[in-house]
Amino acid sequence: MPPALRRSMRLPHAAALVVGIILGASIFIQSSEITRQVPNTTLVMLAWLAAGLLTFCGALVCAELTSVFPQTGGVYVFLRQIFSPALGFLWGWAMFWSVHSGIIAAIAVIMARYIAYFAPLSETAIRMVAIATIVLLSAINYLGVKLGGTVQVALTVIKVAAIFLMVLLFFTLGGRAHQTMLPELYTRDVSIGAFGLAVAAGLFAFGGWHMVTYLAGETEDPQHTIPRALLLGTLTVTACYMLLNAGYH
């Protein structure tokens, strides 16, 4: 009998993974795109709420699938068990060699470029910082799920705390002065198509929420823990996004 993976991940680790994967710079980028599509405060908030609800629906689907197939692999397992091993293989191959590896590289480079704002770095140095970051985080996860989960919880707490600090500053210091900057922008008619594009833009800011299902085999009581983590994580992120955009507008 092959050795089983150690189930070390608990609900805080899994929920932090969901929140930590979703929360990123996209909230600041996608907000401007949504406002461009629907330059109306109420519609902006509705677009974010709709994106959050759609993500929540997806989380419910993944939660149900994980309760049926509580194995490491996530979408790969779902495709293999429901359709065919070949389809699962193609998904895993594409994710490993192109999608996930590309996303990790892009995020690492973006982080290194942000560091370059505070400590001037050459292009070569930026690449080296990005590579070192990937190696460091990979090493942390290699040392064990428990250590990786603890680091993930710490980083997620920092992210959420920073967002709530921004929200607090927006509501206490922002005032209403910014509303006079673009008065014409908030009077333009908005079509249903534009609202749909705004919701689609919002969905990009929720990407990655399903990745916690990849660790079902290393999670305590995955049939209950992962569904709870998915629901808690998506609701937390939706609340963060709604509060941030309320502060913006």
Q: What is the pLDDT of residues 155-205, one digit of tens each?
A: 899 988 988 898 888 888 765 545 544 444 555 567 888 899 999 988 988
Long-range pairs for 96-105: beta carbons < 8 A, 24 or more residues apart: 104/134, 105/130, 105/134
What confidence score (pLDDT) does residue 141 get? 86
In a domain, residue 137? The reply is: no
- The first and second tokens of residue 235, run together, are 């609701």
What confidence score (pLDDT) does residue 175 get? 55
- What would the pLDDT profile of 7-16 be if each residue is shown by its tens digit? 778 898 889 9
Q: Give the range of the structural domain holding residue 74, as residue numbers without chain letter.
A: 11-78+145-248
What confidence score (pLDDT) does residue 79 get? 93
Give the number of domains in the chain.
1
In a domain, residue 239? The reply is: yes
Q: Which residues of the chain have pLDDT under 50?
A: 1, 177, 180-184
In a domain, residue 201? The reply is: yes
Place of tokens 């519609």: 43
What confidence score (pLDDT) does residue 184 get? 46
What confidence score (pLDDT) does residue 247 get? 78
In a domain, residue 2? The reply is: no
In a domain, residue 136? The reply is: no
In a domain, residue 27? The reply is: yes
In a domain, residue 5? The reply is: no
Place of tokens 């709604």: 242
What confidence score (pLDDT) does residue 3 get? 59
Beta strands (DSSP E) in 22-108 are: none
Angle subtended by helix axes 26-37 and 222-248, to nearest 10? 60
Q: List the end-to-end C-alpha distance of the chain, in Å, as a whole number.
A: 58
In a domain, residue 203? The reply is: yes
